[in-house]
């Protein structure tokens, strides 16, 4: 495939137009000491200048609608346009969270229905939507875990266990909630219940697990794992990042998890927004349900209201009620698919992953079991013989007009590539990716090192960025025309 | 409707055949039988037109906002945004993209994020800004944690006026390091922070001090310019409203260490409270303690300007348990709204708008303040476009309900709705004026308030 990304010398907004400065304004009742003195140095663009600026920038950016985007653990599926349409209805956009409940009955009903569906999908019926993202859900669930053990007087439970394949957010969330995270070695990518038993104890507050895990493998001993964790008195936490691999087949409740966060921007097709906003949900079983954030939606006949009467709740965790604009999109995804559709999602995602794994396995070694769920790992280690690294391969793939897989994660696989081809990708797209991958792997080391060459810029100098730390227009200006101090 | 899955009837068998399988069941043989689930009982599937009518049917149950005069604010605002801003957000190259881990494929978004960082630096007078957090309240939580990294101590001082949601969220973020909130008293007449208390407590096992600008009662603290001297080297966090910063001196000028805020008012619709935009700016010397992503400028091999995520060693995917925060997903797309709105409106228009809203808010305060049973403004400290109103004649809830039945969303009450919570400092609410608030809507508000109060007397 011949691919050339747009390449504009697009200026910063400050370079398009000089800041016009500010005029003094009347500011009733505000003393002079607080009023702004230095004019704001920021430009005012005409609408066309603005539209052109952002259109050009957008043309120097990969999105799902421009490129196959097989990022492992990110589930870059099609973001349905109809969800975008419905999330722009005035009744949603104009609603203020402080409006009395009687004026937003429709939204409350929608959120109530969404909670109900997510409760069924996870098998954990008590749901809070006041969750910004996956990592936020982890942090909140661990605060709930803390509250649970504090109430039981089990304050010696200060440790959170997790496998060495865990997402980086898991140990970071554990630290943030005041626990000491400890990573456990996996055996051929999997946690063994018997080995876990040795690590669990009276100090264990929780075991955090992603299933299928980041190697794309289903934790086959999950029921035994759940038994061990519960016998040790600890909480079993489900990181829902990989839920796309099991919809309709199993769910966290049935596997024995006590609490789960969902990434609705992964499994339920809401956009990733260039890194966010995402949206989360926290689904709890009976043990942790009393500690969920307030408020929660209560149905009374055909009316809905926010209920704050949960005395053991940890309180509020985020402004307002959650990323409602995204929750509406997730609801659209759910309605459109229905139960049969969700099962079809997982079946195709897993089929795509196994098919692509089989094909790419001809080019690079695959660690662990051949059967995977929604994603799989490759190792770029053999490329090292030719002086080529996984990073070079990733950059070379960009030149083919496809996004690179997740690279160098999980750390237990040398020169790892983590590939996730979601259910919205066709067989043709997978075959094209295989060809692009083959061309890339077989290219000369010189070309691989020189990649990318077809994008708006060549390989960026990250070391220089970290050394110079030019983080704003002011930094750039200061460097180009060093002003005397003071 | 699963049109979003490409032709499963023909393609699934092809894929299975390539794998030498006869059915998808074989792909799930690693899931133990005892962990399998049966039917879940979910709604759907629906065809696209049915989805549209199902969602619209629900949304039609909301009371239409047309015909309601809204004075709701308290950090989230309904301000008209030029249509060009949503046009930017609808570029699918932006909204369907992921985090810019492959910089060369993401220059557009990286440059926009760099411009956004530059803008928040400019508004706050600080040296560096990250490229977003979830919302203004969790940004405050992250600021507390960062202050705790900068200094040992047990207490984080917060203004007495801090609204209950913020206190609750902050208390949750404080739980990890075992920190406690301590309230700085405010004068019951002026609303001014007790500087003697601050001076004393800042030296008493304290790792950070928060001041809001304006605060949850809408007030501006005239003592801000001399606060640095009072606090010594205790980390000082300011939570500021971006629109206010177009007309007020920036906290960076007075030596604030961290400036956080909620960016929703800049081009992001209220959307029932989300998605929002958490803002954070800091001093360069504290850069390595900063949570969230940072975009930096650099070059490619030909010397061309390029942008990339930088200092990622602070972040969870590299540093894991030692990261400055667990944040991964942020609010990147909303920074485009902020940037687009700010560039389309320009600082002069925004400053004029803030000035006009402030004048109108003072007019509202005068109108309500003359009614027996209301005190507005409740304090003598300066305020901008949000008025603290005390309701002495009847319960705040009943007063606001009375206004609603007359077509007025009068304001956001200050009480904590959790049963058994202590009452707020004064029985009242916050009334916010927006760019669209007209003289006529003030007339309607004042007339409705008078009626509600009279009904009370009559009843």
pLDDT higher than threshold 70 for residue A484: no
Residue A437 lies in a domain: yes
Using a pLDDT cut of 90, give the percent of chain A over it.
Answer: 96
Which residues on adjacent β-strands are paired with residue B181? B156
User: pLDDT of B254-267, one tens digit each?
Assistant: 999 999 999 999 99
CA distance B257 to chain A (A): 17
How many percent of chain B have pLDDT more than 90? 94
Mark whether A91 and A212 lie in a shared domain. Answer: yes
**A17–chain B Cβ distance below 8 A for any pair:** no
> CB neighbours (10 Å) of residue B412?
23
- The distance of B361 to chain A (nearest Cα, Å) reads 9
Q: Are residues A440 and A373 in the same domain?
A: yes
Burial label, A459 (beta-carbon count in 10 A; 0-12, 13-18, 19+): buried
Cβ–Cβ < 8 Å for A131, A320 = no
pLDDT in tens, A413-435: 999 999 999 999 999 999 999 99
Give the mean model confidence (pLDDT) for residues B281-305: 97
B178-219 pLDDT tens trace: 999 999 999 999 999 999 999 999 999 999 999 999 999 999
Token pair belonging to B301: 């091999």
In a shared domain, residues A252 and A382: no
Q: Residue A23: which pLDDT band, with cuts at 50, 70 and 90?
A: confident
Report pLDDT for A21.
Answer: 77
Distance (Å) of CA B166 to CA A315, B136, B138, B159, B210? 10, 9, 9, 11, 12
Instruction: Say yes or no: A317 and A392 in one domain.
Output: no
The nearest alpha carbon in chain B to A471 belongs to B296
Quick one: tokens of A444?
Answer: 């000369």
pLDDT at A449 over 80: yes
A105 assigned to some structural domain: yes
Number of domains forming the structure of chain A: 2
pLDDT of the residue at B44: 82
Q: Contact B310/A355, CB-based, under 8 Å?
A: no
Q: Could you tell me which chain B residue has the CA closest to the CA of A320?
A: B273
Please tell me whether residues A125 and A211 are part of one structural domain: yes
A305/A379 same-domain check: no
Residue B141 or residue A478, greater confidence: B141
Do A100 and A228 share a domain, yes or no?
yes
Please tell me which residue of chain B has the smallest CA distance to A403.
Answer: B105
Q: Are strands A204-210 and A159-163 parallel, antiparallel or unpaired?
A: parallel
Q: Map B350-388 to HEC letters.
A: HHHHHHHHHHHHHHHHHHHHCCCCEECCCCCCCECCEEE
Residue-range definition of the domain harbouring residue A363: 345-453
Residue B103 CB-half CA count within 13 A: 26
Q: Is the pLDDT of residue A482 over 60?
A: no
| Co-location of A331 and A357 in the same domain | no
Q: Which residues of B touch A102 (CB under 8 A)?
A: 63
Find the residue in B nearest to A460 (Cα).
Answer: B300
B chain contacts of residue A394, beta-carbon cutoff 8 Å: 102
Which chain A residues in 441-480 lie under 8 Å from chain B, judged by CB atoms? Answer: 452, 455-462, 464-466, 468-476
A64 touches A78 (CB < 8 A): yes
Query: With 80 as the cut, is the pLDDT of residue B456 above it?
Result: no
Is residue A486 assigned to a domain? Answer: no
Whats the size of chain A, residue-wise? 486
pLDDT at A486: 37
Is A185 at the interface with chain B, CB within 8 A?
no
With CA atoms as reference, report the closest residue to A468 among B409, B380, B307.
B307
d(CA A149, CA A156): 9
The Cβ of residue A188 has, within 10 Å, a number of other Cβ atoms equal to 10
Answer whether residue A109 is part of any domain: yes
Cα B396 from Cα B402, distance rounded (Å) = 10
Q: Identify whether A172 is part of a domain.
A: yes
Same domain assignment for residues A221 and A350 = no
Comparing alpha-carbon positions, the chain A residue that sits nearest to B414 is A98
Using pLDDT thresholds of 50, 70 and 90, give the confidence band for residue A480.
Answer: confident
Mean pLDDT, rounded, of chain A: 96
Yes or no: say if B254 and B225 are a contact pair by the CB < 8 Å rule.
yes
Indicate which CATH number applies to the domain containing A179.
Answer: 3.40.640.10
Strand ranges (E), A32-82:
none
Q: What is the mean pLDDT of residues B82-101?
A: 97
A458 within some domain: no
> Domain for residue A406, yes or no?
yes
| A371 at B interface, C-beta within 8 A | yes
Q: Would you say residue A485 has pLDDT above 50?
A: no
Domain B69-74+346-458 part of CATH 3.90.1150.10: yes
Nearest-CA distance A235 → chain B (Å) = 18
Which of B122, B129, B300 shows the shortest C-beta gap to A42? B122
Phi, psi (degrees; rounded to nearest 5) at B256: -65, 150
Same domain, A307 and A368: no
CATH number of residue A415's parent domain: 3.90.1150.10
Specify whether the CB–CB gap between B147 and B208 falls below 8 A.
Answer: yes
A296/B contact by beta carbon, under 8 A = no
Residues A316 and A427 in one domain: no
Q: How far is CA A446 from CA A285, A305, A449, B358, in A?
A: 55, 64, 5, 63
The contacts of residue A196 (CB under 8 Å, 6+ apart) are A161, A184, A207, A225, A228, A229
| Local confidence band at B2 (pLDDT 50, 70, 90 cut-offs) | low
pLDDT higher than 50, residue A81: yes
Does CATH number 3.40.640.10 belong to domain B83-340? yes
Judge whether residue B458 has pLDDT over 60.
Answer: no
Give the pLDDT confidence of A357-411 residue by residue, as tens digits: 999 999 999 999 899 999 999 999 999 999 999 999 999 999 999 999 999 999 9
Closest CA to A411 of A190, A193, A217, A215: A215
The 10s digit of each residue's pLDDT in A328-368 is 999 999 999 999 999 999 999 999 999 999 999 999 999 99
A74 assigned to some structural domain: no
The Cα of A274 is separated from the nearest Cα of chain B by a number of Å equal to: 4
pLDDT band at A1 (very low <50, low <70, confident <90, very high): low
- Where along chain B do its domains lie? 69-74+346-458, 83-340
Q: Is the same domain home to A275 and A175? A: yes
pLDDT of residue B210: 98
CA distances from B128 to A101, A219, B312, B334 (A): 40, 43, 15, 19
């Amino acid at each position: 495939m011949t691919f050339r990304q747009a390449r504009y010398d697009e200026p910063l907004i400050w370079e398009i137009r000089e800041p016009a400065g500010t005029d003094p304004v009347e500011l009733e009742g505000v003393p002079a000491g607080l009023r702004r003195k230095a004019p704001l140095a920021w430009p005012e663009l005409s609408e066309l200048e603005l539209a052109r600026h952002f259109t050009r920038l957008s043309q120097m950016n990969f999105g799902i609608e421009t490129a196959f985007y097989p990022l492992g653990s990110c589930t870059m599926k099609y973001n349905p346009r109809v969800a975008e349409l419905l999330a722009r209805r005035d009744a949603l956009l104009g609603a203020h969270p402080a409006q009395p409940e009687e004026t937003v009955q429709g939204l409350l009903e929608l959120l109530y229905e969404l909670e109900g569906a997510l409760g069924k999908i996870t098998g954990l019926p008590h749901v809070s939507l006041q969750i910004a993202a996956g990592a936020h859900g982890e942090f909140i669930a661990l605060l709930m875990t803390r509250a649970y053990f504090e109430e039981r007087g089990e304050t010696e439970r200060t440790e959170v266990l997790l496998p060495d394949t865990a997402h980086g957010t898991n140990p970071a969330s554990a630290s943030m909630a005041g626990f000491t995270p400890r990573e456990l070695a996996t055996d051929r990518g999997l946690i063994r219940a018997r080995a876990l038993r040795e690590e669990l104890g009276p100090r264990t507050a929780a075991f955090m697990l992603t299933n299928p895990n980041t190697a794309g493998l289903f934790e086959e001993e999950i029921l035994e794992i759940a038994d061990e964790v519960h016998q040790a008195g600890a909480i079993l936490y489900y990181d829902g990042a990989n839920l796309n691999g099991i919809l309709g087949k199993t769910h966290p409740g049935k596997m024995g998890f006590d609490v789960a966060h969902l990434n609705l921007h992964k499994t339920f097709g809401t956009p990733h927004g260039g890194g966010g906003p995402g949206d989360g949900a926290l689904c709890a079983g009976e043990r942790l349900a009393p500690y969920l954030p307030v408020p929660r939606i209560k149905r009374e006949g055909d009316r809905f209201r926010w209920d704050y009467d949960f005395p053991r709740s940890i309180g509020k965790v985020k402004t307002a009620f959650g990323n409602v604009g995204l929750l509406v999109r997730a609801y659209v995804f759910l309605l459109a698919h229905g139960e049969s559709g969700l099962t079809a999602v997982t079946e195709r995602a897993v089929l795509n992953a196994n098919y692509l794994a089989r094909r790419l396995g001809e080019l690079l070694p695959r660690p662990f079991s051949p059967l995977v769920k929604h994603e799989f790992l490759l190792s770029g280690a053999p490329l090292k013989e030719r002086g080529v690294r996984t990073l070079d391969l990733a950059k070379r793939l960009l030149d083919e007009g496809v996004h690179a897989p997740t690279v160098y994660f999980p750390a237990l696989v040398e020169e790892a590539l983590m590939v996730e081809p979601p259910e919205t990708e066709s067989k043709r797209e997978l075959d094209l990716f295989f060809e692009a991958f083959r061309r890339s792997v077989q290219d000369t080391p010189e070309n691989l090192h020189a990649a990318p060459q077809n994008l708006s810029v060549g390989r960026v100098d990250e070391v220089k960025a970290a050394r110079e730390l030019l983080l704003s227009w002011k930094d750039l200006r200061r460097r180009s025309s060093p002003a005397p101090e003071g | 409707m699963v049109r979003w899955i490409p032709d499963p009837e023909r393609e699934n068998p092809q894929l299975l055949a390539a794998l030498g399988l006869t059915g998808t069941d074989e792909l799930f043989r690693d899931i133990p039988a005892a962990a399998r689930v049966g039917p879940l009982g979910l709604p759907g599937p629906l065809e696209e037109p049915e989805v549209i009518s199902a969602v619209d049917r629900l949304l039609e149950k909301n009371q239409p906002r047309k015909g309601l005069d809204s004075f709701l604010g308290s950090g989230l605002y309904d301000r008209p945004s030029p249509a060009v801003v949503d046009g930017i957000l609808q570029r699918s190259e932006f909204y369907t993209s992921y985090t810019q881990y492959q910089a060369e494929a993401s220059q557009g978004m990286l440059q926009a994020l760099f411009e956004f960082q530059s803008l928040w630096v400019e508004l706050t007078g600080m040296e560096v800004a990250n490229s977003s957090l979830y919302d203004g309240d969790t940004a405050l939580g992250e600021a507390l944690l960062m202050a705790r990294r900068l200094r040992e101590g047990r207490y984080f001082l917060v203004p007495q006026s801090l609204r209950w949601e913020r206190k609750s969220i902050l208390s949750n973020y404080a739980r990890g390091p075992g920190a406690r909130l301590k309230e700085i008293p405010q004068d019951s007449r002026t609303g001014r922070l007790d500087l003697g208390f601050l001076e004393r407590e800042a030296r008493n096992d304290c790792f950070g001090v928060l001041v809001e600008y304006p605060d949850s009662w809408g007030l501006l603290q005239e003592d801000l310019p001399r606060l640095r001297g009072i606090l010594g080297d205790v980390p000082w966090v300011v939570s500021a409203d971006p629109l206010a910063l177009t007309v007020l001196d920036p906290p960076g000028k007075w030596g604030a260490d961290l400036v956080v805020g909620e960016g929703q008012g800049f081009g992001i619709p209220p959307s029932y409270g989300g998605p929002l935009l958490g803002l954070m700016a800091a001093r360069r010397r504290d850069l390595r303690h900063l949570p969230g992503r940072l975009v930096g400028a650099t070059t490619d091999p030909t010397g061309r300007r390029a942008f990339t995520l930088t200092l990622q060693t602070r972040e969870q995917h590299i540093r894991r348990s030692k990261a400055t925060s667990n944040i991964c997903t942020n609010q990147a797309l909303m920074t485009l709204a902020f940037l687009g709105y700010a560039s389309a409106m320009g600082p002069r228009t925004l400053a004029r708008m803030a000035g006009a809203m402030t004048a109108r808010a003072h007019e509202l305060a005068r109108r309500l303040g003359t009614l027996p049973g209301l005190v507005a403004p409740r304090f003598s400290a300066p305020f901008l476009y949000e008025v603290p109103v005390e309701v002495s004649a009847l319960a705040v809830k009943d007063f606001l309900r009375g206004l609603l039945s007359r077509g007025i969303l009068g304001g956001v009450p200050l009480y904590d709705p959790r049963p058994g919570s202590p009452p707020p400092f004064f029985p009242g609410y916050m009334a916010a004026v927006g760019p669209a608030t007209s003289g006529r809507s003030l007339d309607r508000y004042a007339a409705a308030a008078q009626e509600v109060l009279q009904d009370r007397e009559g009843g």
